Amino acid sequence: METLTIGKVAKQTGVGIETIRFYERQKLIDPPPRSASGYRQYPDTTVQRLHFIRRSKKLGFSLKEIRELLELHADPQATCGDIRQRAERKLADINKRIDDLEKMRGSLEILLASCSSNGTSMECPVMQAITGE
C-alpha cells in the first residue's frame, strides 16, 4: 500500500492541508501513522475518503451528516434503506431552504419595485422595511 504526504493528498483531492488536519480532528479521516522523521504517511484510502467527503458536501450534507453516512458505510448491519432515509431528510431540508429563499426573493422583489432610488436613505422603502419604520 502506497503512503502519501499531506501535500500529495491535498493535491490529489483539492482539499487544503489545514482542512485535512481539521477532518482528522473531527474524526472524519483516521490520523495517519508517522514516519521516523515525524511526517504523516497517509494511506491511499484517505484520498478516497476525502473525495467522498467533498462529494457529500456538494450534495449539501453537513459534516455531522457525513460522519453518520461514513458510520453507516462501515456498519455491516446498515442497509441501503438507512442511507436512503438520510438522503430523503437532506432532500426535504434542501426543498425547505429553496422555499424559504423563494419567499425572500419575492419579498425583495416587492421592496425593490417600490424603490425609485430617489430621496434620502431615511425615505428608502427598502431601509424602512428592514428597520421596521
Give yes or no for residue 14 having a pLDDT over 70: yes
Read off the pLDDT of residues 96-118 as tens digits, 9 standing for 90 and up.
999 999 999 999 999 888 888 88
Average pLDDT in the 22-44 region?
Answer: 91
Average pLDDT in the 20-28 region?
Answer: 96
**Do 60 and 90 meet the contact criterion of CB atoms below 8 Å apart?**
yes
**Do 16 and 10 meet the contact criterion of CB atoms below 8 Å apart?**
yes
DSSP 8-state code for residue 62? -
- Specify the pTM: 0.80
| Residues whose CB falls within 8 Å of the CB of residue 63, separated by 6 or more in sequence, listed in order | 26, 28
Cα distance between residue 31 and residue 24, in whole Å: 6
Give yes or no for residue 133 having a pLDDT over 80: no
Kindly report the CATH number that applies to the domain delimited by 1-78: 1.10.1660.10
- At 34, the pLDDT band (50, 70, 90 cuts) reads confident
pLDDT at position 106, please? 95
How many C-beta atoms lie closer than 10 Å to residue 117's C-beta? 7
Indicate if the alpha-carbon torsion angle 35, 7, 30, 3 is positive or negative. negative
Helix %, strand %, coil % for the chain, to 5? Answer: 65, 5, 30
Which of 48, 32, 43 is closest to 1 using CA atoms?
A: 43
Cα distance between residue 114 and residue 104, in whole Å: 16
Read off the pLDDT of residues 36-90 as tens digits, 9 standing for 90 and up.
888 889 999 999 999 999 999 999 999 999 999 999 999 999 999 999 999 999 9
Tell me the domain boundaries of the chain: 1-78, 79-133
Annotate 111-130 with DSSP letters as a single string: HHHT--S-S-GGG-HHHHHH
C-alpha cell of residue 121: 436613505
